[in-house]
Amino acid sequence: QVRLVESGGGLVQAGGSLKLSCAASGSIFFINDMGWYRQAPGKQREVVASITRSGRTNYADSVKGRFTISRDNAKNTVYVQMNSLQPEDTAVYYCNADAPDTSTFQSRNYWGQGTQVTVSS
């Protein structure tokens, strides 16, 4: 199975920056789409940014121009650089990935445990 582990979260003042990383490990042929999601207290989980294996990206309107998603396929790692952070960005950020099962070759979806990002005003 694939394990996803996020890192890089923390406390930052409004206007500051953070870079999150998500490293995949385990039985991996390759990873297809990867993405970052976030969930604030009392709100549903929402997609922040996604990236295909070839590097095509998409962003939520709320983060366009401020966040940048990237990936390193050789390291099975996805990143998101978050600039100009605001209090409304406060949430638990989760990594997500699609990858084929190495036994069945069927695509499976995986989630990380999440990392807390808190932006103070």
**Full pLDDT tens readout for the chain, 121 residues:** 899 999 999 999 999 999 999 999 999 989 999 999 999 999 999 999 999 999 999 999 999 999 999 999 999 999 999 999 999 999 999 999 999 999 999 999 999 999 999 999 9
Instruction: Determine the Cα–Cα distance for residues 120 and 117; give it in Å rounded to an integer.
Output: 10
pLDDT for the residue 1: 86
Residue 119: the pLDDT is 98
CA 5, 36, 58, 64 dihedral sign is negative
Contact call for residues 38 and 92 (beta carbons, < 8 A): yes
